[in-house]
Each structure stands twice: as C-alpha cells, then as structure tokens.
Chain A
C-alpha cells in the first residue's frame, strides 16, 4: 500500500523523461501506472465487499504517535478505484488533448502527484497523514488549475481556489487536532469505533464546525461554491479529473468518513441537509442559466456535491446507500461528459453551447456516448443515474425532519437537472448544423474516446444490473459510512411510488424548460446583477482588505524612524514581561539591602554619576569621557568580584573604545537640540519604565534557581579534562570553544567591514 502511493510520486518525478523518450505514446505509457494501481486496488475487492476493513501501518513519527497507516474499507476502496480508474483515462486522454503542448511533461508530473495525494487522502488512517495529503491535493490542484500560467485569469482563479481550500484546510487542521483529543487517538479506525465518546465530548461543537468548514470549502458548498466554476480555467482533462473523482469529492469523502463518529446528531443533520440542499439547488440553477460547456458541467458538479452532502446529513440507511450510488453514478457520467467537452473544444473549437448544434453526424461516437452520459445525469431509466436519483428522492421523502423544504428543493433540482441534461445531451448534437470555430473533419482519436465510451457504458451496465455495483462495493461503502452493515439494496425498478412519480413529472417539466431554454435564460438575467453581491464579491473584498491592512501595517510599523522601532520593541517586551509576571505570580519578596562597604558605595556613586553625565551633557568630549569612566568602573566591579580575566578584557576594550570614539566622533558635528521638552519627557518615561522592568526582573530572579547550574561540571572537569587551572580560560577555549570561534568570526566580519569602509573612502578621494 505504501509503495502503491509512493510509486505515483516516483513516476511523477520521472514523467518528463518518459515523455521525452516515448513522445506521442507517452499518455498510454504513463497510463500503465494508474491502470496497475486500479488492478491492485481491485485485488482488495473480495475481502472488502464481504465486509472486512484492512488496516496497514508503518511507523512514521512514533514519538508523536503519528503513523503512516492506511485503512481499506468499502468507502476508501470505492474512492481509490474511482481515482485510479478514471485517472487512467485522464492520463491517456491528456496525452492526446495536450499533444504538442510545450509543458506536457510538467503536466504529467503534477497530475500524477495529484493522483498520489488523492489516493493518500482517501486511504490514510492517520488523521495527520490524511491532513498532509489533503493539503497536497490543494497545492497540486493549484498547479493544475494554473497550468496555463501565461493566462492571467488562470493564475487568478488558481489562487482563488488555493486560498479558499487552504483556508478551509487551516480550520480542518484545528478540527482534527480537537477530534483526536476528543476521540483519544489519531487513528481513524479507533476514532470511528468511539463515536459516542466524540459526540458527547465538550469539544464536539467546535470541532464539528471546524471540520465542516474544511469539508465545505473543499467540496464547494454554499457559500464557498464560487471557486469551483472558476477552476474551469484549468485544461479540460484536469477539470474532468477534479470534478469526477477527486479534489471536490474530498470534502464529501471526509464527511462520509467521519459520519460514524460525528453523525447522527441534530446539528449534523440540520447543517448538512440544509447546506447540502441549498448547494444542490444553487448549483443546478446556475447550471441551467449558464451557456459555457464547462460552466454548465461545473455548476452541475456543485449540484452533485450538494446532493451528496445532503444525503450524508440525512444519514438514514437509504440515504447513505443513495449517497454512495450517486457518488459512483456522478463520477462516471461527469468524467465522461467533461471528456466530451474537451472533444468538442479540441475537434470543433466550441466552448459554448450556443456555438454548437447538429454535430452528431461529424462526431457520431462522441455524440452517442455523450447522450448516454447525459441520460444518466438526467436520471433517465434505465441508467445508473436513475437508480441513484430514485433512492435520493426516497430518502428525502423519508428524512427525519425538514421534509417539506428538502422535498421542495429536491423536486426543483430534479426538474432543472433534466433541463441541464437536455442542454448537454441534445443541444450540441441535434438540430440544424451551427458553424463552429473549427470544422471537425474526423472523430476524436481513440485515446480521447476511451474515457467517455467506457465510463458512459458503465453507467448503463450498472443501471441495468444494479446488483453488480451494489454487491461489488456500494453496499460495503455505505456500510463503512454508517459504521454498521447496511440492509438496503439497489434496484432499477422499485414499483410505482412517489419517487417514480416525481421522476416522471420532472422529465416532463424539465423537457418543457429545455424547450423554452432561451426565454427562460433571458428571464433570469437578473441573476447576473445579484451575483455582484454574491460570496465571490466577499472573497475579492477580503483580498483587497488584506492588501490594505498590510499596506497600513507596513506604513505604521516600518516607518523608517529608529526611535519608533525602539519604542515598539521596548513596549512589547515590557508588556509581555508584565503579563507573564502577573500570570505566574512573580513577586519581589526576598529583597533585603545589605550594608554596603565604603568602596562599594564609591563604585556605585561613580557608576551613577558617569551614567547621568553621559546622558545629560551637551559636550561630546564630556560624554565620551563619562563613558570611559563608566567602563573602567565596570572593570573595577569585575575585578573586585572575582573576575580578573573579565576585568582585564574590559580595561583593554574600554581603552580602545574611548580612543575610537574620540577619533571618529570628532569628525561629526556637535550635539544639536533636536527635540522638544515634551518629547524628551515622553522618552524619559519610556526609558524609565523599561529600566524599572529590568530592575524588577533582576530582583525577582536573584534568589530563584529553577535548574542546577552546569558551572559545577566546568569547575570539576577543568583540571582533569581540560588541563587548565584558570577555569574561565578553559571554558572559553575548550568546553565552549565553538562559541569562541563564533566570536572570532564576528570580529573578523566587523574588521572586514571597517576596512572596506575606510578603503572605499580613500578611493573616493583619489
């Protein structure tokens, strides 16, 4: 399993080389990998469909309880098969669709890496590993959407998708950390078995909200739905892949995966069902009034994601069964239809349904399978889409609450869904021939037809024999979403009942709507104006706001005045120290003044006097002299208190300092009075606060010792190990020799800098 996922990244790394060697056949050659993975995952099928779930684990960061563990059950296997199976068609399709594109090699790298991340995401058992793969899919899909990087729109919308999904990812990270705290483990398999503990935990509500933000942004639920149609800036194979089996389904996967541990509560049901139903309706409504081929398909994906979220929220056995069947049906027809959209673009140059018509004679095979897929999209008997839709309607009618509003939205969606299916399945192929930008001379090549043909046919096969999909995997998948075996089954014919009646009604109403499509679209023109105030507007406002804030912050903080930097640093330090002292109840209790001896008093008097003089004097020479006096007195302190070496160093350095200051400062002008008295008082106040803080800190730490000093070791080992009797020297050149080496580097750097500045001045004069 580990090698299966790693192999995608390995092959991704060598993909450009493979592409150079194999040339035109590169799509087929690289397609071997997803095909092999598909077969590998298929080998798990017998065990999984009999209800087993398999956990495979490799230690990764054992100290942090993070393992690279994988969970193979019905749900993850269904996803893995879709990802690798559709991945095969995408790779071979892209090989022809992007043939001759100068960055095709890079495209293979990203799409294979993306596939690996997606597989990792759905198979991971460890939450942290899952999160890492989750973010990897965001990053790789950013690169895929922005593949045409010379196009400003592609860059802009790639960034939009990235910011929305990664922003949600941040919330998700917080959510899964809380989930692990509540569930007591980072392993999904253990958390899922502890559902009751999680649901009753005090963190349940916050972690649910955070995880839902993560899932909703990724799966483009209202109000985050706007990024998904924009991601159509990607090349068509990418759209086909992102929409059918991967990326946007990741959020749905997460919801389904966590259903056994988070689901079943009132808030879970209400939130998911409502947001899902709203998203479903918004998606299909916007799809109906769009005309761009990919736009229509993208919005219908939003509809599908909403449907899935709603079904998971409803959470009854029928609903979960419906969700898994719908997931499979949607992946099949949406993958096929996007590839058809790519063929339309590739062969006829048509990107808009208004530019198309009567193409069935020019592209007969494409037309046939596009219609088959569109029938599944519309939920027409006997396709698999019909099976899924019947179950969906049934579970909405039996929902544990909100039946009225859910049913209303579901019926409206069904009607509009039929109309959208008609737009996709009838408009380009029938009617009078419309002049397309390119005249198709031949049918699309086999590499591009393989996907639509196989995927659309599977929709028919599963429709005619729903038991095949049911017993194969859908039942096991629904069981892992429910966390218990599922009793429901898939069937083409449920008898004459309400769902069937709604289906029949929606077929007629949807057909009528399609008949009057042009008028209906004109009547809906107001939506464009309304969209001005939609969530995407909020996104752009937020981005502008971010830029504004950072400009403001740069203006305020990076103002170029050293004194304001110093003030900010001092205020921050004093503030943080003050807060910390409050929090940890630091007190200055053990202060007792000892009687000072006369020489100590003298030293302190000199220190204070020279310090005050250095600050207050208006003479530069006076200030330098005061500094010298201060420095030599400090040296005296060192000598008096048993630090002879330090004292010697201080005397030497102080001498040099005074000479240097006298030499250089007298080439500069004298002190000027630059600030007003009020400013001086303000600065003095700030300085006194900082100084007072230092004093308090010192007083409170004088008697504190939290850990044993390591000095004792130096004292004991100086002679035996360091062969030196001056312990300070041994510390400097032996125990802490590297520090001394660093010190020498600093001096050398300073010397080089000084030398350079003096030399350049000499050259200037010449």
Chain B
C-alpha cells in the first residue's frame, strides 16, 4: 500500500502545484487544500501504514498489545490538519475581502491594482 500511496501522493502534489500556477484565485485555494492533504498523507505514509494496530493501551496494561502504529506521526498529522484549516479559513476570507475591494479574481489584475 505504501508504494501505491507514494504515487497517489506524488499525483496530489502535482495537482496542487498545477492549481497554484493558475491565475484564478479560487483555483489557488483549491490547490492549497490539495497541498495540505498531500503533505499530511506523505507524513502518514512514510511513518509506515499498519492496519489494525491503533496506538492505544488496553486497560490493565502499560504497553499496547503487540506492535502499534507510530503515534508521533499521527500526532503531527493531527496538528497539521488543524493548522491547515486555520490557514485555509484565513486565506478564504482574505481572498473574499480582496475580491470585494478590487473586483477581480484574476491574480494578474490584482497585482496591478496598486499602480
């Protein structure tokens, strides 16, 4: 599964970068969402994908029963998801506000409005 995921994640990066290269600012937002998902999956995949081994400790024991998935990678991804959402919310509202002011969603036009 990891090998296949490597191709999927690479594809997601490609899609994200392609969208970020567009002039429409909405497509930039879509690119950002793709990028943060891709980055999260990258970390998650590289930590090793184990099914049926949650990092939980059964009652009465001090260690997980058998091998557990990497808890650190999960914690990192969890944090990244939340921060990614914060950034996205800010970006979306900022873009909306910018559109109201300059009446353009083409980034080339936005660039020229301060002239």
Residues of A within 8 A of B (CB): 560-563, 566-567, 570, 591-594, 596, 600, 604, 607-608, 611-612, 614-615, 620, 623-624, 627, 630-631, 634, 637-638, 640-646, 649-650, 653, 656-657, 660-661, 664-665, 667-669, 671-672, 674-675, 683-684, 686-688, 690-696, 698-699, 701-702, 709-711, 714-716, 718-720, 725-728, 731-732, 736, 739-740, 743, 746-747, 749-751, 753-754, 757-758, 760-761
Chain B contacts of A716 at CB under 8 A?
A: 63
- Give the chain A neighbours of B9 by CB distance below 8 A: 694-695, 698
Contacts of A668 in B (CB 8 A): 25-26, 95-96, 99, 105
Cβ-defined contact, B33 with A653, below 8 A: no
Asked whether, in the complex, the Cβ of A746 is within 8 Å of the Cβ of B56, the reply is: no
Which residue from A620, A650, A720 sits with its C-beta under 8 Å from B81? A650
Minimum CB–CB distance from A734 to chain B (whole Å) comes to 11
Nearest-Cβ distance from residue A260 to partner chain B, whole angstroms:
57
A-B residue pairs in contact (CB < 8 Å), sample of 23 = A561-B111, A563-B23, A592-B3, A593-B4, A600-B4, A615-B15, A623-B26, A627-B30, A631-B37, A634-B41, A646-B77, A657-B88, A660-B92, A671-B24, A674-B106, A687-B18, A694-B13, A719-B57, A719-B63, A725-B57, A739-B79, A747-B86, A750-B90
Per a CB cutoff under 8 Å, which of A614, A675, A743 touches B15?
A614
B contact patch SS: helix
Verify B105–A695 contact, CB threshold 8 A: no
Question: Who on chain B is nearest to A607 by CB?
Answer: B8
The proximity string for B residues 1-38 relative to A, scoring 1 for CB distances below 8 Å and 0 otherwise, is 11111111111111111111111111111100110011
B18 to chain A: which residues have CB within 8 Å?
Answer: 615, 683-684, 686-687
Return B50 CB to nearest CB of chain A, in Å. 5
A-facing residues in B69-107 (Cβ within 8 Å): 69-75, 77-79, 81-90, 92-97, 99-100, 105-107
What CA separation (Å) do A566 and B21 show in the bound complex? 7
By the criterion CB–CB under 8 Å, are A646 and B81 in contact? yes
Task: Report whether B20 and A562 are in contact in the complex, using a CB–CB cutoff of 8 Å.
Answer: yes
The 9 closest A-B pairs by CB, nearest first: A691-B14, A695-B10, A687-B18, A750-B86, A642-B69, A698-B6, A727-B71, A727-B55, A683-B21
Whether A687 pairs with B21 at a CB distance below 8 angstroms is: yes
Cα A81 to Cα B4 in complex, Å, equals 76
Contacts of A714 on B, CB cut-off 8 Å? 71-72
Bound form: Cα–Cα A191–B26 in Å: 65
Contacts of B70 in A (CB 8 A): 709, 711
- Within 8 Å by CB of B63, from A570, A715, A751, lies A715
Residues of B in contact with A (beta carbons under 8 Å apart): 1-30, 33-34, 37-38, 40-42, 44-46, 49-59, 61-64, 68-75, 77-79, 81-90, 92-97, 99-100, 105-108, 111
Which of B12, B55, B79, B89 contacts A754 (CB under 8 A)? B89
Knowing that A615-B18, A634-B41, A698-B42 touch, tell me 7 more A-B residue pairs with CB under 8 angstroms.
Answer: A608-B8, A611-B15, A637-B44, A671-B26, A726-B57, A743-B83, A746-B86
Q: How far is the CA of A423 from the CA of B7 in the complex (A)?
A: 84
On whether A753 and B12 interact (CB within 8 A), knowing A686-B21, A699-B3, A727-B64, the answer reads no
| Alpha-carbon separation in the docked complex, A607 to B64 (Å) | 31
Q: Is A687 a contact partner of B75 (Cβ separation < 8 A)?
A: no
Cα of A650 to Cα of B1 in the assembled complex, Å:
20
Q: Select which of A600, A641, A725, A758 is within 8 A of B50 by beta carbon.
A: A641
- Contact with A634, one of B40, B89, B108 (Cβ below 8 angstroms): B40
B41 touches A637 (CB 8 A): yes
In this complex, the member of A646, A684, A718 whose beta carbon has the largest number of chain B beta carbons within 10 angstroms is A646
Residues in chain B near residue A570, CB distance under 8 A: 17
Q: Are A604 and B85 in contact (CB under 8 A)?
A: no
A727 adjacent to B10 (CB under 8 Å)? no
* CB-nearest residue of chain B to A665: B26
Residues of A within 8 A of B93 (CB): 664, 753-754, 757-758
Shortest Cβ distance from B33 into A: residue? A627
Measured in the bound complex, the distance between the Cα atoms of B87 and A749 in whole Å is: 9
Could you tell me if A761 and B97 are in contact, using CB atoms closer than 8 angstroms? Answer: yes
Residues of chain A within 8 A (CB-CB) of B97 are 757, 760-761
Q: Chain A nearest CB: distance from B69 CB in Å? A: 4
Bound CA–CA A728/B76 (angstroms)? 9
Q: Are B51 and A661 in contact (CB under 8 A)?
A: no
- Chain A residue numbers with a CB within 8 Å of B71 are 711, 714-715, 718, 727-728, 731
CA separation between A591 and B6, bound complex, in Å?
A: 11
CA distance A714 to B2 in the complex (A): 24
For the complex, give the distance between the alpha carbons of A578 and B12 in Å. Answer: 20
* Nearest chain A residue, comparing its CB with the CB of B57: A725
**Measured between alpha carbons, how far is A693 from B106 in the docked complex, in Å?**
29
Residues on B with beta carbons closer than 8 Å to the beta carbon of A740: 79
Given the complex of chains A and B, what is the CA–CA distance between A649 and B37 in angstroms?
A: 13
State the CA gap A696–B33 with chains docked (Å).
Answer: 22
B105 touches A669 (CB 8 A): yes
CA distance A753 to B86 in the complex (A): 10
In the bound complex, do residue B81 and residue A653 qualify as a contact, i.e. CB atoms below 8 Å apart? Answer: yes
Chain B residues near A604: list those with CB within 8 A. 4, 8
A727 to B72, CA, bound (A): 9
Known: A596-B4, A664-B93, A719-B63. A640 touches B85 (CB 8 A): no
Q: A643, B54: Cβ atoms under 8 Å? A: yes
Q: In the bound complex, do residue B78 and residue A645 qualify as a contact, i.e. CB atoms below 8 Å apart?
A: yes
Q: How far is the CB of B42 from chain A (nearest CB, A)?
A: 7
Q: How far is the CB of B41 from chain A (nearest CB, A)?
A: 6
Which residue of A has the minimal Cβ distance to B10?
A: A695
CA distance A725 to B61 in the complex (A): 9
Q: Is the CB of A695 within 8 A of B7?
A: yes
In contact, B83 and A699 (Cβ under 8 angstroms): no
Contacts of B108 in A (CB 8 A): 561
Rounded to whole Å, the gap between the CB of B43 and the closest CB of chain A is 10
**A649 close to B13 (CB less than 8 A):** no
- Judging by beta carbons under 8 Å apart, are A702 and B21 in contact? no
A561 interface neighbour in B51, B99, B105, B107, Cβ under 8 Å: B107
Contacts of A657 in B (CB 8 A): 33, 85, 88
Q: Is the CB of B105 within 8 A of A611?
A: no
Contact of B96 among A611, A664, A709 (CB under 8 A): A664
Which residue of chain B has its CB nearest to the CB of A695? B10
A718 and B57 in contact, given A611-B34, A638-B44, A687-B18 (Cβ under 8 angstroms): yes
Please measure, in the bound complex, the distance between the C-alpha atom of A761 and the C-alpha atom of B19, giving whole angstroms: 29
Q: Are A641 and B44 in contact (CB under 8 A)?
A: yes
B89 CB to nearest A CB, Å:
6
CB distance from B16 to the nearest CB of A (A): 8
Give Cα A615–Cα B18 distance, bound, in whole angstroms.
8
Q: Which residues of A contact B105 (CB under 8 A)?
A: 668-669
Q: How far does the alpha carbon of A607 sit from the alpha carbon of B87 in the complex, in Å?
A: 23
Cross-chain contact of B45 among A561, A567, A653, A698 (Cβ < 8 A): A698
Shortest Cβ gap from B44 to chain A (Å): 7
Question: Once the chains bind, are B56 and A646 in contact (CB under 8 Å)?
Answer: no
Smallest distance from the beta carbon of A38 to chain B beta carbons, Å?
62
* With contact pairs A702-B2, A750-B90 given, residues A736 and B75 touching in the complex (Cβ less than 8 Å): yes
| Complex interface: chain B residues within 8 A of A675 (CB) | 22-23
A678 to chain B, nearest CB (A): 13
Contact of B17 with A687 in the complex, beta carbons under 8 Å: yes
Closest to A627 in B: B33
From B74, B84, B96, residue with most partner A Cβ within 10 Å = B74
Pairwise interchain contact B17-A728, C-beta atoms closer than 8 A: no
Contact assessment for A731 and B75 in the assembled complex, using a CB-CB cutoff below 8 Å: yes
B residues in contact with A719, CB < 8 Å: 57, 61-63
Residue in chain A with minimal CB distance to B20: A566
Using CB atoms, name the residue of chain B closest to A699: B6
Partner of A593, one of B3, B53, B63, B64: B3
Are A727's CB and B59's CB within 8 A? Answer: no
From B3, B11, B14, B15, name the one whose CB has the most chain A CB atoms within 10 angstroms: B14
